[in-house]
Amino acid sequence: MLKGHGDDLYRYNSQIDYNFSSNVYYKGCKKLLLEAISNAIQTIENYPSPIARELNVLAADKFNLNSNQFLFTNGAVEAFYLIAQLYKNKRATITSPTFSEYEDACKINQLECCFADREAIEFTNFDSELVFICNPNNPDGKILELDKIQRLLSTHPQTHFIIDEAYIEFSNQVETAVPLINLYTNLTIVRSLTKTFAIPGLRLGYIISNSNFIKEVLTYKMPWSVNSLAIKGGQFIFENYEKLAFDAEALFNETEQFKQQLKKIEWLEIIPGTTSYFLVKLKNRKASSLKNYLIEKHQILIRDATNFTGLQGEYIRLAVQSQTANNKLIKALKEWN
Tell me which architecture the domain covering 9-27+247-335 has in CATH. Answer: Alpha-Beta Complex (3.90)
Q: What is the pLDDT of residues 232-273, one digit of tens each?
A: 999 999 999 999 999 999 999 999 999 999 999 999 999 999
Q: What percent of the chain has pLDDT over 70?
A: 97
Contact 249, 172 (CB under 8 A): yes
pLDDT band at 320 (very low <50, low <70, confident <90, very high): very high
> CB neighbours (10 Å) of residue 91?
17
Backbone angles phi, psi at 278, to 5 degrees: -160, 160
Within 8 A by CB and 6+ apart from 41, the residues are: 229
Report the pLDDT value the prediction gives residue 197, as an integer from 0 to 100. 97
Report the pLDDT value the prediction gives residue 307, as an integer from 0 to 100. 85
Report the pLDDT value the prediction gives residue 103, as an integer from 0 to 100. 96
Q: What is the mean pLDDT of residues 68-74?
A: 98
d(Cα 307, Cα 45) in Å, to the nearest integer?
41
Domain boundaries, given as residue ranges, for the chain = 9-27+247-335, 31-243
Tell me which architecture the domain covering 31-243 has in CATH. Answer: 3-Layer(aba) Sandwich (3.40)
With a cut of 80, say whether residue 48 has pLDDT above it: yes
212 three-state secondary structure = helix
Q: What is the pLDDT of residues 121-162, one digit of tens each?
A: 988 989 999 999 999 999 999 999 999 999 999 999 999 999
d(Cα 138, Cα 269) in Å, to the nearest integer?
17
Q: Which helix (H) or strand (E) holds 216?
A: helix 211-218
With a cut of 70, say whether residue 312 has pLDDT above it: yes
d(Cα 61, Cα 57) in Å, to the nearest integer?
6
Contact 79, 190 (CB under 8 A): yes
What pTM value is reported for the model?
A: 0.95
